[in-house]
Structure 1
Amino acid sequence: MSLIVNQWRGNSPSVRHTATVTVNDAVFGALYKVDFDGVASVETRGQDGDTTATIASRLADLLAGVAGVTVDYTAGQSSIEIMGPADGVPMASNITASNPAGSFTERIRPGKLAIDQEFLIALPEDTTGGTFTVSVDFGSGWEETTGQAYNETAENLESDLDALTSASGGDFSVTLEATEPRTYRVKVGGSWAGKSVAIKADTSGLTGLSTAAVSRAQSVGGDAPAVWKIRLHQDSSASTLINVHMNGVAYATQIANVVSQSWWDERLPANTVSFAGGQELHSGGSMTSHAVFSVPADVSISFSGPVSAQVDELQAYQGESHDSFQMFDFTAGTTGTQTVTWNGHTSGGGSMSQIASLLLSLPNINTGEIQGFTFGSVPIYVVQFQNGLGGALQPLIQFGTTDAEYLSEGAGPVNDIHAVTILGATGGTFPLQVSGKAETTDIDFASDDIDDIQAAIDATLSAGETVTVTGTISSFQIEYGGDLAETTIPLIAIDGSGLTGGQDAIISEAVTPVAGINEIQAVNIDPTATGGTYSLVNGQPSIDIPYNDSLPNIEAAYEDLPDIGAGNVFFDGTPRRLLIEYIGALAGRPVDLVKINQDSLIVSGQSALTVSVESLAGSANHWNSPQNWSLDHVPRSGELVVLKGPAGDILHGLVQAAECTFSGTDIVLNQPGDFIDGQVVRLSTSDTLPTAQDSGGAVVLDGSADYYVVAIGVTDSGNQTIKISETDNGEPVEFTNAGTGTHRIGVRLAGIRQFASYAGAIGFPQFIDGAWYPGQRYLQIDLEAPSSNDPNIELGIGDGSGLSRGYFDFGTSHVDARVLKSQGSGDEPAINVLNDNIDESEVVVIGGVFGVGNDPARTPSMRRLIGFAGRSIVGNANFSRIESYNNSVESAISQASSNIVQVRA
Structure 2
Amino acid sequence: MKDLVWIGGAPAVAQVDTIALPADIEGGQIFKATIGRKTLKYTFPDGPLRVEVAGAIVDQWNESEIPEFAEISATDQGDGSFTLTADNPGKPFIVNVIIGTGANEIQVVTLINSPTGGTFTLTYDGQTTGNIAYTASAATIQTALEALSNIGVGDVVVTGSAGGPWTIEFTNALGSTDVPVLIPDDSLLEGTNEEQVITLVSATGGTFTLSFGGQTTGAIAYNASAATVETFLEALSTIGAGNVSVSGSNGGPWTVEFIGELRGTNVDFITLDGSSLTGVLDVDVSETTPGGGGSNERHIVQAGLADNSSVNGGIVISGDSDVTGGTFDFTINDGLQDFVALTDIPYDVTVAEFQALLDAELIAWGLNYRYRVFVAHQYTTDPVGDDKLSDNAGMILQVDSALGTLTLSVDLDGTNLTGGSYSSFIDSIGAGMYYGDSSDYGDGAGSWKLLIDGNGTDDLSPTISGADLKTAIEGIAAVGAGNVAVYELGEGQGFKFGGGFVIEFIGDLSNQATGFTITTSKSVDSDLNLQVWTGYTGSSGTGEVQTLTISGSPVSGTFALSYGGDDTALIAYNADASTVETALEGLPSIGAGNVVCGGGALPGSPITITFANALSGEDLELVEAIYGNVIESVQGSDTPAVKVTTSQTPVTHSTTTESEGPHDWNTAANWDVIELPADDDNVFIVDGSDILYGLDQSTVTLNRLEIRNSATKIGLPRRNDSFYEYLDRFLKIGAAEIVVGLGDGNGSARINLDIGSSSPVIEIHDSGTGESGEQSVQVIGVNAVNTAELLILGGEVGIAVLPKQEAHFALVTMREGNLTTGSNVKILKWNKTGGDVQSYQTTIDGTVTL
Structure 1-normalised TM-score? 0.33
Larger gyration radius, structure 1 or structure 2: 1
User: Which structure has the highest strand share of the two?
Assistant: 1
